[in-house]
Amino acid sequence: MALWNLGGINADHVYGVPHIPAPGETLDGQSHSLYLGGKGANMSVAAARAGTHVRHIGAVGEDGAWARDRLMEYGVDTRAITTVEADTAHAIIFVAEDGENAIMVYPGANRAIPEDHLKQSLTQAETGDWFVCQNEVNLQDEAVKLAADMGLNVAYAAAPFDADVTKRLLPYLDFLILNEVEADQLKQATGQGPADLPVRDVVVTLGAKGAQWFGENGVVDVAPHVVTAVDTTGAGDTFTGYVLAGLDRGQPMEQALKTAAKASALMVTRHGTADVIPDLAEVQAFSG
């Protein structure tokens, strides 16, 4: 079994600044760090650390070899990441002394994935494998239709949220995951709450309140773990990667959800994103 993830790969450049620059202002940065980011990359790392075989489908520019290497070091199968002429997607993140931030994301290669590359990559998928994508890349419509035609289990993480894209993908999905805000936005756009959507399994994550699964047994609550959160970035991606890894490994939904809640609770006790996503042994040892 494998989890195929059509997802974004970002270089996150984080600059410490005295304050967020005003229009027309130039100031010196006080620090600079480069991290691997992007929802797609985070989910791939989480699912790989949860013990499943993850095949990441995506694109970087000539400047992105380090990101592919980093994913490989983290256990992700990177053979379906291609190099294109665009720049690797990147985020410029200003973090001011008072904690305020400002972010610009340049999608670059994430939105320049060639259709031939997608089709060629997916020819290696097998019936019963899982497929997931988010909304940072191009080709979601083509990919989701192809994956459904091939008999894969099709999942979508509806972030960054776009009502039109989500509505178009709904008929092809077996699994939809979204946070509370996104679930409200989808309800406004469709008039349907999570229980009414034409998708076999819908999971709504609720931050510190845990999550809810709308499936064959009606609504099932996923209890949160009480922790002291220091950085919630990447909690949702960790949850999604873990739950899909569990399903790909044949676990029942409730078990996969419980492990995902534990992994994401542990994640919010740590600063950072892909680099600090816990592995399964750490999650199993975590008593929070």
CB of 44 to ligand ATP, least distance (A): 15
Helix (H, G, I), strand (E, B) or coil at 42: helix
Instruction: Give the C-alpha separation, 81 to 4, whole Å.
Output: 11
Of residues 155 through 184, those in contact with ligand ATP by CB under 6 A are 179
CB of 76 to ligand ATP, least distance (A): 19
For residue 183, the Cα-to-chain-centroid distance in whole angstroms is 16
Told to check if 35 binds ligand ATP by CB under 6 A, we report no
Tokens for 226? Answer: 């009480």
| Binding-residue pattern over the window 247 to 286 for ligand ATP, x denoting contact by CB under 6 A | --------------x--xx--x------------------
Q: Please give the annotated binding residues for substrate, written as ranges.
A: 10-12, 38-42, 136, 237
* Active site annotation includes 237: yes
Binding segment for ligand ATP among 89-97, 146-154, 162-170, 235-243 (CB under 6 A)? 235-243
CB of 241 to ligand ATP, least distance (A): 11
Residue 234: C-alpha distances to residues 25, 42, 67, 156, 190 (Å): 31, 7, 17, 16, 27
Tell me, what amino acid is at 186?
L
Out of 158, 211, 244, 283, which residue is the one contacting ligand ATP (CB under 6 A)? 211
Q: How many chain residues are in contact with ligand ATP, going by CB under 6 A?
A: 22
Identify any residues that bridge with 212 across adjacent strands, giving them in sequence order. 204, 221
Q: Please give the annotated binding residues for K(+), written as ranges.
A: 231, 233, 267, 270, 272
Out of 83, 138, 190, 233, which residue is the one contacting ligand ATP (CB under 6 A)? 233
Told to check if 190 binds ligand ATP by CB under 6 A, we report no
Residue 75 has phi, psi (to 5 degrees) of 95, 10
Percentage helix, strand, coil for the chain under 3-state DSSP, each rounded to 5: 40, 25, 35
Nearer to ligand ATP, 54 or 183 (CB): 183
Give me Rg for the CA atoms of the chain.
18
Nearer to ligand ATP, 70 or 258 (CB): 258
For residue 14, the Cα-to-chain-centroid distance in whole angstroms is 20
Q: Out of 201, 237, 275, 279, which one is annotated catalytic? A: 237
Nearer to ligand ATP, 135 or 179 (CB): 179
Told to check if 12 binds ligand ATP by CB under 6 A, we report no
Q: Are 180 and 206 in contact (CB under 8 A)?
A: yes
Told to check if 51 binds ligand ATP by CB under 6 A, we report no
CB of 257 to ligand ATP, least distance (A): 9
Residue 21: C-alpha distances to residues 12, 99, 158, 188, 272 (Å): 18, 14, 31, 35, 23
List, in order, residues 6 or more apart from 116 with CB less than 8 Å away.
Answer: none
CB of 68 to ligand ATP, least distance (A): 23
Nearer to ligand ATP, 112 or 229 (CB): 229
Which helix H or strand E contains 284, and what residues bound it? helix 280-285
Out of 41, 43, 125, 235, which residue is the one contacting ligand ATP (CB under 6 A)? 235
DSSP 183-247: HHHHHHHHS--GGGSSSSEEEEE-GGG-EEEEETTEEEEEPPPP---S--TTHHHHHHHHHHHHH
Binding site for ligand ATP (CB under 6 A): 179, 205-208, 210-211, 224-225, 227, 229, 232-237, 239, 261, 264-265, 268
Question: Which residues are identified as catalytic?
Answer: 237
